[in-house]
Amino acid sequence: MALPKLDTPTFQLELPSNQQVIKYRPFLVKEQKILMMAQDADNEKDTYNMLAEIVNGCTFSSVDIKTMPLFDFEYLFLKIRCKSVGESAELSILCPDDEETRVPVTIDLDEIDVQIQDDHTNVIGVNQDIKILMRYPTVNDIDNISETKNDVLKLIKSCIYEVHDGDTIHNMIDVTSKELDEFIDTLPTEVFEKMGTFFNTMPTLTHVINVKNPKTDVTSEVVLQGIKTFFS
């Protein structure tokens, strides 16, 4: 006689970037095993790949997890985590005033949302006629880079998806890698700095808390950002 099959509840949410409705279910034991390995992963690539495997299973493979904006992916994982193991997380926060004392803090995960800075834009002006349109990094992009300068440049290059020259639109699908390299090499340094600002201000999971150092009685504001802060 076959063992019984268990019914699993399903939920839905809207992705922050485009309000696409996604159906999802909580973790099962098989995903919890992967999560335990992700928590012990030595590098960011392995962590994101294992989290992507979890999210893919919990969304019934209905969306391309590895090509959605990173903040959509992180938001989706967080909501799945809330329905799976509860809406609170116990974190150990380093006190900024002495940078050595850690304080246990309980975070309400349901209060965490994707924050977009007011001055953020994905349009980079080069001059009066030319502008560059950027796309947001994905899990695939994280998988293809490391922390070297060359790989950071590779990330910037991969996130350029259109160049507008007046009324002419150049889609990067139609541009060779060599042509794009030559175009980037001719950019003024201030334009390259604007690209860095795009990455530094792009939407991300953000939560602000106040922590009091029991050794110094100093209360400090701590900004928590990114999925790795919240999933442990």
Instruction: Give residue-wise pLDDT tens across range 109-154.
Output: 888 999 988 889 999 999 999 999 999 999 888 777 655 556 778 8
- State pLDDT tens for residues 156-200: 899 999 999 999 999 999 999 999 999 999 999 999 999 999 999
The predicted pLDDT at position 152 comes to: 77
Determine the pLDDT at residue 94.
94
pLDDT for 118:
86
Q: Is residue 4 in a domain?
A: no
pLDDT of residue 86: 85
| 92 assigned to some structural domain | yes
Q: Are residues 56 and 140 in the same domain?
A: no
Same structural domain, 174 and 77? no
Residue 100 is assigned to a structural domain of this protein: yes
Give the pLDDT score at 46. 84
Whether residue 231 has pLDDT greater than 80: no
CA angle 37, 155, 109 (to 5 degrees): 45
* 88 occurs within a structural domain: yes
> For 14-43, how does the pLDDT look when each residue is reduced to its tens digit (9 = 90+)?
999 999 999 999 998 888 888 888 877 777
Instruction: Look at residue 39 and tell me if it is in a domain.
Output: yes
> Could you report the per-residue pLDDT of 45-74, keeping only the tens digit for each?
888 888 999 999 999 988 899 899 999 999
Domain range for residue 156? Answer: 123-198
| pLDDT in the model for residue 148 | 54
Q: Judge if 186 and 225 occupy the same domain.
A: no
Tell whether 111 and 208 lie within a shared domain: yes
Give mean pLDDT, residues 208-221: 95
How many domains would you assign to the chain?
A: 2
Is there a single domain that holds both residue 164 and residue 80? Answer: no
Statement to judge: residues 135 and 94 lie in one domain? no
- Residue 179 belongs to some domain of the structure: yes
CA distances (Å), origin 163, targets 132, 159, 195, 209: 5, 11, 13, 40
**Mean pLDDT, residues 1-18:** 88
Both 58 and 103 in one domain: the answer is yes
Can you give the pLDDT at residue 189?
93
Report the distance separating Cα 166 and Cα 130, nearest Å.
6
Strands (E), 63-214: 88-94, 102-108, 113-115, 123-125, 130-134, 160-165, 168-171, 204-212
Q: Compute the average pLDDT of residues 98-104.
A: 95
Q: Own/partner pairs for 223-227, CB < 8 Å, 24+ apart? A: 224/91, 224/107, 224/112, 226/74, 227/51, 227/73, 227/74, 227/77, 227/78
Q: What is the pLDDT of residue 15?
A: 95
Confidence at residue 3, expressed as pLDDT on a 0 to 100 scale: 83
